[in-house]
Structure 1
């Protein structure tokens, strides 16, 4: 049954630890009910609660328990690592509710980390080029983005950044701008205390984070041409 998010189950993390130890389809099937009640159903509730709250906040992000949740089964077809399951659950909310759009909200609960992110992650080549060109040609707008995020106690991540300037941008020497142009992704992240995931207040904290990260969404949407002007009424 779906409903308002009430927190992940107290056995959520212990389940992931046990799954990591067993990595067995037989064990997983025997314990599927625990996975559903402690992890998957609460994650679905969280997504749908956030979708409603994001809509009310005008963030342009939505999702549901059918389309937004990632599978816990690993795709091992082209991997040397043949473990059948991940040790995390995750979900994404996007402008159209699918996993194919950019400018998204991402939630991840796992043994290795627990965090939320708002991101333009691995944008297609044309969009990434446009973002880089905007930084080069409209540095004032980019600095306003950085300042807005800083005011909201957030900063752009540097994960996966190129070590050298991409072709065509070698002339950009300003340290802040050149560092941004080397990014392959544009993302802000909020780490989450795993002990806090069992309470319904997690949803409120995630809404607060997404609202504070909105300048990054708006910056990317302006470049993409999908930014909806805020009504002055």
Structure 2
């Protein structure tokens, strides 16, 4: 389900179709550990972001905190400061509704998942 940790999901809807790979609303302990990892191991976090970008993916900025969470107020690097404000870590891939019933959808989703794997590995 979407509430599990480290998931791949597909949304087929009337308004929008997309796939996602996410650490969706991680438990407070896990989210705290992820934030600490961002700050204490910035090279690993940045390598993951770079791998995602090479695959044409970006971490979703939706639903970020407006201010840094307690204990992370002094994070100076802008990319890290934004990342620690995240409540979840998500990459999405739009699906062309015309491909829903085609065999090409499977290949498209496999390619997306392989490109998003660095996020799962990092988490």
Tell me which residue corresponds to 1:134.
Answer: 37
Q: Indicate the RMSD between aligned Cα atoms, in angstroms.
A: 1.1
Structure having greater relative contact order (Cα 8 Å, sep ≥ 6)? 2
Structure 1 stretches of 4+ with a deviation exceeding 4 A read none
Q: Distance in 2 between matches of 1:114 and 1:101?
A: 21
1:197 aligns with 2:100: yes
Q: Distance in 2 between matches of 1:161 and 1:135?
A: 15
Number of positions where the alignment pairs a residue of Structure 1 with one of Structure 2: 123
TM-score (norm 2): 0.96
Tell me which residue corresponds to 1:147.
Answer: 50
- Which structure 2 residue ranges, 5 or more long, are not aligned? none
1:208 aligns with 2:107: no
Q: Distance in 1 between matches of 2:73 and 2:4?
A: 30
- Aligned to 1:204, the other structure's residue is in SS state helix
Q: Distance in 1 between matches of 2:15 and 2:78?
A: 32
Alignment deviations for residues 168-226 of structure 1 (CA, whole Å, 9 cap, x no partner): 00000211000000000101100111111121210111011001100000000xxxxxx
1:167 aligns with 2:70: yes
1:114 to 17, 25, 30: 17
Tell me which residue corresponds to 1:8.
Answer: none
- Which structure 1 residue ranges, 5 or more long, are not aligned? 1-91, 93-98, 221-233
> CA offset at residue 101 of structure 1?
2.9
Q: Distance in 1 between matches of 2:37 and 2:7?
A: 20
